[in-house]
């Protein structure tokens, strides 16, 4: 029976194949939005079935299929590894120093759109699955792969749907291979919600503005000037959450390097993202609407939030402004002492020889759909976080290889391979 050490050596001897696999995934353009994810999903399917792993395709939308694959036995520890194969659009190609879909490999890096977010993470998961399958390792449990092709535009055909359909049932832990950094295990996220503000006025001929009519755009802009009020609302954290909270603030401060930015972790953020109003140049607008991206921290008090929104409107001294929100997503987290957190932390620290901090992310992610099902869920994946969603995205080869080692060793520990 193959042991942990032998599996580790096998991985090291095949490192080049992992780098090649990452590059091959980059070469398949899977921008979302734009078109279908068919080609990349077929590639993943073929990779797994060539390795002798049974693959199932399920879909809520034919252009955004999901892949389920499983190895191991029905009994024992069950871990899900989740990742998305879609990437954000490459944007203005002239801003890139290399072909975003060239899959170039340098001495130290793999280059291209989606390297960090998150084809390197996907490659690690696929590679480790294949390694375990082909080595004939005896797993005291199972690994379930959830590969989705709709994350970058909200995930309604991806992880959210998989979880709603019951595909996550019975899992003891979930590892999302999203980009973090080697230093951080993300054990919590904020909840993303939409707040809509609508102002109603009275139309009149544009030439009579200020004398007749009631300008809805001006009204709404008065309210939006007070949006900062909402950022003062903080979440509530239990004693057990203090360690991760202080780690998170430390990380935000060091990474983002803007005064006060650590507050983003445990306070509401409200980004006025889009605004729409008016009909025509020569008319006083009678309607204006703004969409605000609201990120809610752990332990938010909804009554306080709603109260502040009403006060914000009141403070602006305008009539005829309403708001609409369907609060569904809240700050969510996995306890720091969970087996998945501590096992991955130990292995990451062993491999990197650095301190690895469990922390809460200032953004939101698919992890919350698993947490809603009470599955302890973490994010840890290879990346250079600076290039994510921007130009010249890349990933260090060392990060990719070490992430795959950390995944492998964590699986060994959780699934009884010593
Ligand atoms: Zn991502």
DSSP 145: E
Say if residue 129's pLDDT is above 90: yes
Read off the pLDDT of each residue in 155-178 and give the average, rounded to a whole number. Answer: 95
Supply the pLDDT for residue 318. 87
> HSE-up of 273 (CA within 13 Å, CB side)?
12
Contacts of 326 (CB under 8 A, 6+ apart): 193, 194
Between the CA of 57 and the centroid of ligand 1 the distance, in Å, is: 21
In this prediction, residues 347-355 reach a mean pLDDT of: 98
pLDDT score at 291: 98
Looking at residue 35, its pLDDT comes to 74
Band the pLDDT of 171: cuts 50, 70, 90: very high
- The catalytic residue among 31, 117, 150, 151 is 151
**Catalytic option among 86, 366, 396, 413:** 86
How confident is the prediction for the chain on average, in pLDDT?
A: 95
| Burial of 70 per CB tally in 10 Å (0-12, 13-18, 19+) | middle
Task: Give residue 309 CA to ligand 1 midpoint distance, Å.
Answer: 31
Find the 162 Cα to ligand 1 centroid distance in Å.
Answer: 17
What is the 84 CA–ligand 1 centroid distance (Å)? 7
Centre of ligand 1 from the C-alpha of residue 89, in Å: 13
Packing angle, helices 397-414 and 120-135, rounded to 10: 50
Cα(113) to ligand 1 centroid in Å equals 12
**What pLDDT score was predicted for residue 34?**
77
Give the per-residue pLDDT at 389. 86
Distance 111 CA to ligand 1 centre (A): 16
223-267 pLDDT, tens digit each: 999 999 999 999 999 999 999 999 999 999 998 999 999 999 999
- pLDDT of 321 > 80? The answer is yes
**What's the average model confidence in pLDDT over 311-329?**
94
**pLDDT class of 285 with cuts at 50, 70, 90:** very high
For 15-58, the pLDDT digits (tens) are 999 999 999 999 999 998 877 899 999 999 999 999 999 999 99
CATH domain 4-189+332-414 topology: Aminopeptidase (3.40.630)
Q: What does the pLDDT read at residue 123?
A: 98
Mind listing the pLDDT tens digit for each residue in 59-93? 998 888 999 999 999 999 999 999 999 999 999 99
- Specify the pLDDT at position 172: 98
Residue 61 confidence (pLDDT):
87
pLDDT at 151: 85
pLDDT confidence of residue 156: 84
Tokens of 287: 């309607």
CB-based neighbours (< 5 A) of ligand 1, an ion: 117-118, 178
CATH 3.40.50.150 fits 191-243+260-325, yes or no: no
Task: Give residue 115 CA to ligand 1 midpoint distance, Å.
Answer: 10
Start-end of H helices in 225-338: 242-256, 263-266, 302-315
pLDDT band at residue 3 under the 50/70/90 scheme: very high
Average pLDDT over residues 317-321: 91
Is 86 one of the annotated active-site residues of the chain? Answer: yes
pLDDT at 212 over 90: yes
pLDDT score for 335:
98
- For residue 194, pLDDT over 90 is answered with yes
Q: How far apart are CA 266 and CA 297, in angstroms?
A: 5
Compute the distance from residue 180 Cα to the ligand 1 centre, in Å.
10
Predicted confidence (pLDDT) at residue 154 exceeds the cutoff of 80: no
Per-position DSSP letters for 381-393, written without gaps between them: ----GGGTTSSS-
Query: Are 243 and 360 contacting, i.e. CB atoms less than 8 angstroms apart?
Result: no
User: What residue segments make up the domains of the chain, in order of their start?
Assistant: 4-189+332-414, 191-243+260-325
């Amino acid at each position: 029976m193959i042991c942990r050490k032998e599996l580790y050596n096998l991985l090291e001897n095949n490192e080049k194949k992992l780098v090649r696999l990452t590059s091959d995934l980059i070469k398949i353009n899977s921008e979302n939005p734009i078109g279908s994810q068919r080609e990349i999903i077929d590639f993943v399917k073929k990779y797994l079935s060539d390795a002798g792993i049974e693959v199932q395709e399920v879909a809520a939308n034919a252009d955004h299929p999901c892949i389920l694959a499983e190895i191991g036995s029905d009994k024992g520890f069950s871990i899900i590894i989740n990742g998305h194969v879609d990437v954000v659009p490459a944007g203005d190609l002239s801003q890139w120093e290399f072909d975003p879909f060239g899959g170039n490999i340098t001495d130290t890096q793999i280059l291209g759109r989606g390297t960090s977010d998150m084809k390197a993470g996907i490659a690690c998961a696929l590679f480790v699955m294949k390694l375990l399958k082909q080595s004939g390792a005896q797993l005291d449990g199972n690994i379930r792969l959830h590969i989705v092709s709709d994350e970058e535009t909200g995930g309604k055909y991806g992880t959210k749907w998989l979880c709603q359909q019951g595909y996550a049932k019975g899992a003891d832990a979930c590892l999302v291979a999203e980009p973090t950094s080697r230093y951080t295990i993300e054990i919590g996220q904020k909840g993303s919600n939409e707040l809509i503000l609508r102002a109603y006025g009275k139309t009149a001929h544009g030439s009579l503005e200020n004398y007749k009519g009631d300008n809805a755009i001006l009204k709404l802009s008065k309210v939006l000037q007070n949006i900062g009020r909402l950022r003062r609302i903080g979440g509530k954290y239990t004693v057990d959450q203090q360690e991760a909270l202080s780690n998170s603030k430390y990380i935000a401060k060091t990474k983002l390097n803007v005064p006060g930015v650590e507050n983003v972790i445990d306070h509401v953020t409200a980004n006025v993202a889009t605004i729409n109003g008016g009909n025509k140049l020569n008319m006083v607008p009678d309607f204006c609407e703004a969409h605000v991206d609201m990120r809610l921290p752990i332990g938010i008090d909804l009554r306080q939030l709603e109260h502040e929104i009403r006060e914000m409107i009141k403070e602006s001294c305008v009539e005829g402004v309403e708001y609409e929100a369907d609060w569904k997503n809240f700050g969510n987290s996995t306890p720091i002492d969970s087996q998945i957190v501590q096992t991955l932390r130990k292995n990451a620290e062993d491999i990197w020889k650095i301190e690895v901090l469990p922390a809460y992310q200032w953004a939101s992610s698919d992890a919350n759909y698993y947490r809603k099902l009470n599955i302890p869920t973490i994010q840890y994946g290879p990346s250079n976080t600076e290039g994510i969603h921007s130009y010249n995205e890349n990933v260090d080869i060392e990060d990719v290889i070490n992430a795959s080692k950390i995944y492998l060793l964590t699986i060994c520990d959780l699934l009884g391979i010593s």
